[in-house]
Chains A and B, each alone.
Chain A
Amino acid sequence: MTGVKAAAQAAMQAVMKKAVALAPDSWIPGGEPDPLIRHKHGLIGAAISRIDGPLKVAGQARFSAEFPMERMTYAALHYSTIAKGRITAIDAASARAAPGVVLVMTHENAPRLNPTPPFMSKPKAAGGDSVPVMQDDRIHWNGQPVALVLAETQEQADHAQSLIRVSYAPEAGVTSMASARAQGPEQGYFRGEPLKLEQGDAEDLLAAAPHRVDAAYSTPRHNHNSIELHAATVAWSGDELYIHDATQAVDHVAWSIAEAFGIEERQVRVTSPYVGGGFGSKILWQHQILAAAASKLAGRPVRIMVSREGVFRIVGGRTVTEQRVAIGAQSDGGFDAIIHTGTVAMTPHNNLPEPFILPARSAYAAKSFKLDVKTVKLNMVANTFMRAPGESVGTFGLESAIDELAFDLGMDPIALRIRNEPDKDPTTGLPFSARHIVEAWGAGAERFGWDKRNAQPRAQRDGDWLIGLGCATATYPYYRMPGGAARIVLRKDGHATVSISAHEMGMGTSTVQTQIAAERLGLTMEQVTFEYGDNTLPGVVLAGGSQQTAAIGGAVIAAHRKLVGELLKLAGNDSPLAGLKPDEVGGFDGGLCSLQDPSRSESYASILARARQDEVMAEADGSPPLEGQHWSMHSHGAMFCEVRVNAVTGEVRVSRFLGSFDCGRIINAKTAASQFRGGIVMGLGLALMEETQFDERTGRIMNPSLAEYHVPVHLDVPMIEVMWTDEPDPHTPMGARGVGEIGITGVGAAVANAVFNATGKRVRDLPITLDKLL
């Protein structure tokens, strides 16, 4: 997006926002609480095992590369070895002649394609970048695919790929932060708004404050590294394309591929029933488009399973951030100024300036704010969304700085945070929809035994091991994106099927949505089928932003309301329900009953039998998600960490961790706990070991494997305690606010703060490896 266009869009959005902020509550979705919030003892909140669990533990859940097809071919990719320039020649003769080779595709013979619409540029855009896919001789990053081989077997494709020789005319690329900065940083925009906010004179107030911290923090590149590789099984039948994909956005992928091939969206079917982890990475990258193009040329189905190295080369991760955090405070701890500014790397072909200032916008009250994210452009694979983009690394800077300030003030870091607890959103002035972080701190501190902490560093020791405790705030916003429609079909035998094009990447979607639908309809879970993972179903749901549960919830609420209306019509005047309006009845025990007088009820079977109908169907769109502009809606957590640092070797071991969360109503105690723990585990990786090493001379990723990019393993992870307030948010579907991303936030700082408490060393550059502690 150009600066002018972005600025115009931002101005337009600002006007809309004002109107929504000032509207009466009753006009806003969520103004009337979801009736499910009143259900206290049913399925909502129960610890229910995953309904797809038996399939998964038996190895029978089918992932995208696991659909056999007649005449299958296998793809292998060849990647560029320069960061910028042109291809001058491709010698593929020996590859073409190799046994089993069906096709070698390069920019010279690839079908003509339109540029991929990059994510967030259009409602259903899914592209990780907008670089044309194998359309010309230009190289934009080191690792860009330049040739694809199809063969009868994977071994033949891999071998033939190794025979390809590409000659390049390299040009000077931008591969270091220093040279990128020299080109002039630009303003970052996120969700149509500039990542910039100034209220009051923060620099002056900082300078005048009796206590202040002003430090630089940095975080490296990260890769998602879901254990399932990016893969797709692709086949054309005539001009219709079928993709078994591993994706968190079936509709977005279908629409965007249709755009690339210049065909109608309805000609593309994308299914994705099981996804082996996504964390933001499983959107549309070049491999699905290349596989579809090659399949078209060869006239045969294609399986593409990108190698682990290939995933590092063609699927972007989290970008590098350079942050400044400065806080000025009075002696009682009251904040005069919060400054959080810095620079992130991006490419010219995408639009995600890692928005690390988001936590500072709403976490604490202060007299003044100065927040700003600037971007610089590099020749690198386009960075993308990775679990809590912005918050995961932004909380590292902010929450470390608060710990530094607390130490300087001689104040308990929890007390300092609570001292600056805002009573309304500190930067927008909007009321909070629900905020119980103080309770979460209290409960967490008690459980963790925080009162036993010695604030003096190096005070606790066990042999060679220095022991320290640290804490930090976790925070993530509530989002609900327009999710389109959901459909409910209720049969006369009392079975309901709820359908919406959502995703199951392990979050527990299918289980949780079955629970919710059963509770809403007054059925058992066995009486409900939840259909998802197919773009031909109603709805446009993105599994991202921790918003899928809310988006589905909004659509199902609308479809359910319509269904109840239909049922009341069918019930007619002979029913005990006669005269009641949809809002006056609820689902109960296989039928509807009056909320006022539960003795007035009729079963679904009886209503449909009397109406002589086999089933009743309702489909409706969810309300526009305006609640997020009317209230300030955020989840929080209080994160506690105990580390043991070896005084001789500098090794850090996390020995205890506790997360105390305030995320609205928890729908499934078992799967939510796993979401929290999973986020925390990824946060431990971010804190202690994860780094995508980028060679600033060549722009090449140097550790593209799970052997060299370290993620936490069993031995790195202690038993992690999680707990929650379970206070429903009155303004969200089901009272829930999303649990997928918050777990990773705050962890980096909680660990760093514990390391400081153990050693007296303040590490401001992630990951906290042992060399930084020696």
Chain B
Amino acid sequence: MRFNINGQPMEADVDTRTSLLDLLREHLELFGTKKGCNQGACGACTVLVDGQRINSCLALAVQYQDREIITIEGLGAPGSLHPLQAAFVEHDGFQCGYCTPGQICSAVGMADELARGVPSYVTADIAAEAIDVTDEELRERMSGNLCRCGAYNGIIDAIRETLAQAASADVKREAA
């Protein structure tokens, strides 16, 4: 089977039962995507498929051939971290680091959902042009990603700061 992962074509010969998560970890040695429950309850296995976040433990690899898959390894590496990865380090948005790749991939997917104006359970005005990005809004949208180390405050700080920086960069770009 052929896959497109982090912009690279990859091949693997896997069972039809193999999850996208196990494909990444056990067949392609991309161990950055984590397994915390294997049943869609923790979010540690979050990856981006065509820009949308999914729990890769609930996805069968066979269904994801030739889709654009981005894992934590595709976002950045030490020395060239994605802004959100750098913000997680700065704000101590983790302790053990096991839920972290999932939190970061999830936050990248969430940023896109916010930008597209997808409302959430706590969105006060679903008719509004743009979503008011409150901490409550971020927390609700990130609640599928568990952190047993309890680094939630640092995670929200990191996401809030990164979103604000991206927004001000956009404003500058438009002004120029």
Contacts and interface: CB of A to CB of B under 8 A. Distances in A.
Contacts of B142: 714
Interface string B77-95: 1110100011011101011
A507 interface: yes
Contacts of A155: 15, 17-18, 22
B73 A713 contact: no
Interface stretch (B124-132, B148-156, B167-175): B148-156
A591 to B, nearest CB: 31
A156 B38 CA distance: 16
Interface string A284-305: 0000000000000000000001
A508 B95 CA distance: 7
A63 B139 CA distance: 27
A506 B95 contact: yes
Contacts of A55: 78, 97
A675 interface: yes
Given A505-B96, A711-B146, A227 B85 contact: no
A172 interface: no
A73 B81 CA distance: 34
Interface string A151-176: 00111100100000000000000000
A54 B151 CA distance: 16
A226 B18 contact: no
A266 B2 CA distance: 45
Interface in A664-687: 670-671, 673-675, 677-682
Given A276-B96, A506-B149, A227 B36 contact: yes
A424 interface: no
Contact of B92 (A275, A277, A674, A707): A674
Contact of A279 (B85, B145, B148): B148
A68 interface: yes
A262 interface: no
A720 B154 CA distance: 10
A148 to B, nearest CB: 18
Q: Chain B CB within 10 Å — which of A505, A670, A714 has the most?
A: A714
B41 A58 contact: no
B50 interface: no
A714 B143 CA distance: 5
Nearest to A303: B26
A178 interface: no
A695 interface: no
Given A49-B92, A276-B96, A705-B37, A59 B22 contact: no
B132 to A, nearest CB: 17
A308 B96 contact: no
Nearest to B104: A57
A276 B34 CA distance: 10
A82 B39 CA distance: 25
Given A674-B154, A719-B135, A227 B99 contact: yes
A711 B145 CA distance: 11
28 contacts: A50-B89, A54-B81, A57-B85, A58-B72, A58-B77, A155-B22, A227-B96, A227-B149, A228-B34, A229-B37, A275-B96, A277-B95, A279-B148, A506-B96, A506-B97, A671-B92, A673-B92, A674-B151, A678-B149, A679-B150, A705-B39, A713-B143, A714-B142, A714-B152, A715-B143, A717-B139, A717-B152, A720-B153
Interface of A: 49-50, 52-63, 65-66, 68, 74, 153-156, 159, 224-229, 274-277, 279, 305, 307-308, 505-508, 670-671, 673-675, 677-682, 705-707, 711-715, 717, 719-720
Per CB-CB distance, the 3 closest pairs between chain A and chain B, nearest first, are A59-B32, A681-B150, A276-B98
